[in-house]
Chain A
Amino acid sequence: MTDVIVIGAGVIGCAVARELARFSLRVVVLEKARDVAEGATKSNSAIVHAGHDAPPDTHKARFNVMGNALFEALCRELDVPFRRNTSLVAAFSPADLHALEELKARGDKSGVPGLHIAKRSEVRALEPAIGREVCAALVAPTGAICCPYELTFRLAENAAANGVAFHFSCGVRTVAREDGGWRVETKEGRSFKARAVVNAAGLYADVLNNQVSAEKLTITPRRGEYLMIDKAYAGSFRATVFQVPTPMGKGILVTPTVDGTLMVGPTAENIADKTDTRTTAEGLAKIRQAASRLWNGFPVNGVIATFAGLRAHGDRGDFVIGEPPDAPGFFNAAAMDSPGLTAAPAVGAYLAEQIAGKLGAEKRSDFVAAPTHWPVFRSMSMEGRVAALALDPAHGHIVCRCENVSEAEIRASIRCRIGARTLDGVKRRTRAGMGRCQGGFCTTRILAILCEELGLAPEEVTKFGGGSHVLFSCGKELPLP
């Protein structure tokens, strides 16, 4: 018996778990994948929205504005990159201009600070590479960017440092009431019991909610495809540039990332399969078309990767947060499509307060908010590098040449509490393999380090768990006669 089970180790689950760790509560996180951030968290626009899109007085509007206000301090506390880079909503026509005014009115009402509508010349001065047809833009100075999987990893690492237990490869099958608490059973045959449950199961949050509540919920996967652009084009845009939103979402945007690359996307397509993260020829063509409208001189030769993510789109049109009336002790953080990432810190704090209140838990005095993290070679000063090298010469062995990631960082990413177990796990914790060669040079080295650190044979290493094996057995071994 534990106090709280959090189902799902995406950014929402990890934000809730880390906030719960502030209280004297035993907390367990169950995640079906091999790592944190394997769902929508790893493939979205990485934007901390200003908050002018959702209608005022919705959960989306409230948690967006609150989350935006909390984000910078959280990122500073966890030492993860965050940049308040401003966002623009670009208007291409008089009709769009009208839409900008509506957005501004909404944003003002929701308490989004500093919104104003900029004319063509001002927009051009702000973003010289913006598409020539753009005639005006809504400027939101609180718009920002972050790295969602790095944030999630650090949230999890810090939660673990404060006693939260993480179980991976634990796919929850059923949640049922038992003796005033909750029994949670997994596909792998494991069974857990807790006084409260947090449903942060992303695309599958409807399934769990519908097991315990008569207030049914339907979540539709809404696929979004993206292009990633080489950091050689860093500086092309400082701000995030949106188009005027449609009923399907915020539309295709162009944004810098905190790592220096740029992203263009997403498409928005409702699909049936909650696992279908394929990219499509049509989707990628649509992005290229939109990109050339948003970005004057869009460098199609600068594309280094394509990917797709699935938003958890709920049928109520809003986040579903808190206890259903007929399931006390079961806390939803469901239907967290955009602005889910932005809302995560606020949702985490809100639910942790609710749960602690319900369970009568006190704040701990021994919570450690600032994590210990390995030195990141690429972002160090000359002096910092010299100091890091003096402590560990492995910082001088650059394994990933595109992103300048050292052997020391790769080993640390495996040795930490929520350590990497796969190639993708190393990649998302260190950026090794995320650059322009996409692992062409460093994959063999990273695989060898994973084998050394974890005592694995090369054919046991996977890209992201399950059957995603990288290699077959040695080709030169012939069967004995």
Chain B
Amino acid sequence: MTDIDIVIIGGGPAGLAAAVAAREAGCDRLLLFERDEVLGGILPQCIHTGFGLHVFQEELTGPEYAQRFIDRVHALEIPVQCGTTVLDVTRDRVVTAVSPMCGLRQFRAKAIVLAMGCRERTRGALMIPGWRPAGVYTAGLAQRWVNREGWMPGRRVVILGSGDIGLIMARRMMFEGAKVLACVELMPYSSGLTRNVVQCLDDYDIPLMLSHTVTDIHGRERVEGVTVAQVDAQRMPVPGTEQRFDCDTLLLSVGLIPENELSKAAGVELAEATAGPVVDESLQTSVSGIFACGNVLHVHDLVDEVTRESAQAGRAAAAFARSAAGLPPPALRVRDGAGVRGVVPQAICAERVAEDVSLMFRPTAVFKDATAAVKIDRVEVARQRFRILTPGEMVKLTLPKGLFARFKGACELTVEVTE
């Protein structure tokens, strides 16, 4: 058992930013574990551009964006162990890790940053009926094959779900010579960013079929086709609207799920709306000294936001490791108001707010000419107007830290969206 200040679990954008920030905040003894052989998480396979517009005011590819942080990690001499799987995290912050190089080891950490990212929803979770042939893949798996390993998972493709990875992969498969027949979305709106719908589907004449779903998969050995049907307001297929697409591949981009198996092992409380840990404004979970950031906390649209959030988690973990003081539990509960789902953080300690507080959430539906308002104990403290809000784009409202001095002892903060 080795004593250490901070263990960071995951070497994707969240873990990298947390590590850099913790080091810059003065933490000497930290260690980052990454499962893969290389750092960067999912970014090395995201070879399209669009990363870094906020953080660097530049348009970078995923590997370029990751490399800036990897270079920084190396420059700061932060110890990193790739090819290492964390098997267990306990409530008293003992981390068990295994790797071929170092075998099985245990660390007792003063603070832990959970940065494990997320996984993709699968065909099984959607319960799509039909045959079970080869050729049904999640979009991220296909992306890894095409972009990192140079293999084509299909030639004639239908994409179910309009999540960003699916949209990006529609364009990517076209570039590589495949035919993308359609992108099929259950909801009446795209779940991806508007810019991706325009740049990846519209520009390549790939039809986006809203309010449609895949109701059957054909082909005994390899996919030979799928049946697509329109859905009604209850999202149930409408009989008589079925059409068959002859394809050899079905890619799924139907949602991301935070990977919180280790969080659960540590006894961290999870929120239903985000499927990630319940955190306070310092990104500390319900377990003292365990912090969470990035897609393990809640699924983001933009890596730039992951970086911002994770740097904050890194600073907070460093402060915790330094003082290890038992802090008062956060008293101000954050609640999803009308039209709002999954506000992060879920609680704020008004007495100790150290930085401006970003409230991040998704609207429950599409709102035009919308107003997002924040109330503390029914007093409106912030209000922002938006031309359009959609569930596919996360909303961020930032409250200045000075604000909270006025609300010591307050009980409830509510975020709501109205048209």
Contact = CB atoms under 8 A, between A and B. Distances in A.
Query: A and B from one assembly?
Result: yes
Given A396-B98, A401-B85, A473-B152, A227 B119 contact: no
A467 B133 CA distance: 9
A463 B134 contact: yes
Contact of B35 (A394, A401, A458, A464): A401
Interface string B82-121: 0101010000000000111111100000000000000110
A284 B127 contact: yes
A417 interface: no
Q: How large is the interface on A (under 10, 10 to 19, 20 to 34, 35 or more residues)?
A: 35 or more
A476 interface: yes
A441 B98 contact: no
Contacts of B132: 277, 279, 307
Contacts of A481: none
Contacts of B150: 474-476
B215 interface: yes
A404 interface: yes
Given A389-B103, A475-B178, A306 B127 contact: yes
Contacts of A438: 122-124
Interface centre among A395, A398, A458 (most CB of B within 10 A): A398
A281 B120 contact: no
B124 A444 contact: no
B177 interface: yes
Nearest to B173: A475
A440 interface: yes
Contact of B129 (A232, A275, A281, A394): A281
Interface stretch (B69-77, B139-147, B309-317): B139-147
Contacts of B154: 472
A248 interface: no
B153 A279 contact: no
Tell which of A227, A284, A468 has the most Cβ of chain B within 10 Å: A468
A279 B130 CA distance: 5
Given A470-B153, A475-B178, A441 B119 contact: yes
Interface string A400-412: 0110100100000
B83 A280 contact: no
A346 interface: no
Given A397-B83, A471-B151, A279 B129 contact: yes
Interface in B139-182: 140-141, 144-146, 149-155, 176-178
A278 interface: yes
A408 to B, nearest CB: 9
Contacts of A297: none
Given A227-B127, A305-B124, A476-B150, A444 B98 contact: no
B131 interface: yes
B125 interface: yes
Contact of A462 (B134, B141, B220): B134
Interface string A443-481: 110000000000000110011101111111111100000
B222 interface: yes
A444 B149 contact: yes
A277 B131 contact: yes
Contacts of B135: 470
A301 B137 CA distance: 20
A385 interface: yes
A441 B130 CA distance: 23
A266 to B, nearest CB: 15
A467 B83 CA distance: 34
A232 B129 CA distance: 24
Contact of B151 (A281, A303, A458, A466): A458
A223 to B, nearest CB: 12
Contact of B99 (A227, A278, A304, A396): A396
B135 to A, nearest CB: 8
A260 interface: no
Interface string B218-259: 001110000000000000010000000000000000000000
A340 B405 CA distance: 71
A475 B205 CA distance: 21
Nearest to B175: A475
Interface string A410-449: 0000000000000000000000000011111101100000
B138 interface: yes
Given A444-B141, A444-B149, A471-B145, A303 B125 contact: yes
A382 interface: yes
Interface string B33-68: 001000000000000000000000000000000000
A393 interface: yes
A284 B129 contact: yes
A1 interface: no
A459 B83 CA distance: 26
A469 B103 contact: no
B152 A385 contact: no
A386 interface: yes
Contacts of A462: 134, 221
A398 B85 contact: yes
Contacts of B177: 475
A277 B130 CA distance: 8
Contacts of B221: 462-464, 466-469
A314 B140 CA distance: 45
A304 B122 contact: yes
A299 B337 CA distance: 26
A437 B252 CA distance: 13
Contacts of B83: 397
Nearest to B131: A278
A475 B99 contact: no
B87, B100, B103, B145 interface centre (most CB from chain A within 10 Å): B100
Given A394-B100, A458-B151, A444 B222 contact: no
B155 A468 contact: no
Given A396-B98, A404-B87, A281 B215 contact: yes
Nearest to A287: B127
Contacts of B237: 281
Interface string A11-46: 000000000000000000000000000000000000
Interface in B238-286: 261, 264
Contacts of B124: 228, 303-306, 438
Contacts of A304: 122, 124-125
Contacts of A471: 145, 151-153
Contacts of A436: 119
A443 B149 CA distance: 12
A397 B146 contact: no
Given A468-B222, A476-B150, A396 B129 contact: no
A398 B82 CA distance: 12
Contacts of A464: 134, 221
Contacts of A227: 127
Contacts of A382: 104
Contacts of A474: 150-152
Interface in A216-266: 227-228, 232
B252 to A, nearest CB: 9
A-B complex: 8 closest residue pairs judged by Cβ atoms: A305-B124, A475-B152, A475-B176, A398-B85, A467-B221, A463-B134, A393-B100, A396-B100
26 contacts: A227-B127, A228-B124, A232-B261, A277-B131, A279-B127, A279-B132, A280-B129, A283-B129, A306-B129, A386-B104, A390-B103, A396-B100, A397-B83, A398-B35, A398-B87, A404-B87, A438-B123, A462-B221, A463-B134, A468-B133, A468-B221, A470-B134, A471-B152, A472-B155, A475-B150, A475-B152
Given A385-B98, A443-B137, A475-B151, 9 more contacts: A278-B129, A301-B125, A401-B85, A440-B119, A440-B138, A458-B149, A466-B221, A469-B222, A472-B155
Interface of A: 227-228, 232, 275, 277-281, 283-284, 301, 303-307, 382, 385-386, 389-390, 393-398, 401-402, 404, 407, 436-441, 443-444, 458-459, 462-464, 466-476
